Amino acid sequence: MRSLHAVLISLLLCLSACSSLPNRDPLKINVVDVEPLQGEGMEVRFAVRIRVQNPNDYTLTYSGVALDLDINGQPFASGVTDERGTIGRFSDTIVSVPVSVSAFSMIRQTYGISQMETLNNMPYVLRGKLSGGVFNTKRFVDSGTLNLPGPTTGSR
Total-model pTM: 0.70
Was domain 23-112+120-146 assigned CATH 2.60.40.10?
A: yes
Asked if 118 and 112 touch (Cβ cutoff 8 Å), the reply is no
* Local confidence pLDDT in tens for the 156 residues of the chain: 667 667 667 766 665 544 445 567 889 998 888 888 988 887 888 898 999 999 999 999 999 999 999 988 888 889 999 999 999 999 999 999 999 987 766 666 665 555 555 556 778 899 999 998 777 888 999 998 866 544 434 444
Residue 25 DSSP class: P
Can you tell me the distance from the alpha carbon of 128 to that of 140, in angstroms, rounded to the nearest whole number? 5
What percent of the residues of the chain are helix, what percent strand, and what percent coil, each to the nearest 5?
Answer: 20, 45, 35
